[in-house]
Amino acid sequence: MRAVYLRPWRIDVSRSPGVPRLVSAAGLARTAADALNVVGAPSPASIALILSDDRELARLNAEHMGEDGPTDVLSFPLLPPSAFPPHEGQRSEQSTARPIEPAYQHPARHRRHLGDIVISAERAVAQADQGRGGQTGDITWSPSDELRLLVIHGVLHICGWDHAEPGERDAMRALERKVMGRG
């Protein structure tokens, strides 16, 4: 694991064995920090990025979401959506994704952990190679761009964003493009 400090954030980046290095840990941390800054996440705080493969994401997807097969990114928020500024992409009350309630809250002067994001680098490469990237399934770009987008997508979920409803989805996609520098 590599801890990258980009005030007021600490981004912990881990790679499972055999996961390709598409983007440096520092580059992934900068992408995560950009997304955290844009959404106005409470700070100082930390977030974890875990890069893995389809096998691990399939296991986690079944265990936590009740879905079969791999997915590209899973987010495990530790704070409720109300801990973040209100926004158009706010997770609706009917959403099945619920934050895990932390066992304790850090005092305000200490860094709190916002949550963990697990990404399948294998899925990022496949989606980019097949021209199915961009969370819309129709963008052709490099695997490194797809991985950066998945980091942003995961951070937005950690921060209470969702895409279950059309308005939420449109707001989330617009913010993803903005953070990627394409919007």
pLDDT band at 140, cuts 50/70/90?
A: confident
Left if phi > 0, otherwise alpha if psi is -120 to 50, otherwise beta: which for 135?
A: left
Give pTM, 2 decimals: 0.87
Average pLDDT along the chain: 88
Give the model's pLDDT for residue 102. Answer: 47
| 133, 168, 171, 58: CA torsion to nearest 10 | -30
109 pLDDT exceeds 70?
Answer: no
- Residue 109's domain comprises 2-180
Check if the beta carbon of residue 66 is closer than 8 Å to that of residue 89: no
Distance of alpha carbon 123 from alpha carbon 134, whole angstroms: 12
Lowest mean pLDDT among 21-35, 53-67, 126-140: 126-140
Distance between CA atoms of 171 and 156, rounded to whole angstroms? 11
**pLDDT tens-digit series, residues 31-86:** 999 999 999 999 999 999 999 999 999 999 999 999 999 999 999 999 998 899 88
Q: What is the pLDDT at residue 23? A: 96
Q: What is the pLDDT of residue 154?
A: 97
Residue 87: the pLDDT is 79
H or E stretch covering 152: helix 143-158
What is the pLDDT, as a whole number, of residue 95?
44
Least confident of 19-28, 31-40, 128-137: 128-137
Nearest in space to 31 (alpha carbons), one of 111, 147, 120: 147
Which domain CATH number covers 160?
A: 3.40.390.30
Task: Answer whether residue 157 shows pLDDT above 80.
Answer: yes
Q: Is the pLDDT of residue 105 over 70?
A: no
> How many structural domains compose the chain?
1
pLDDT at position 91: 58
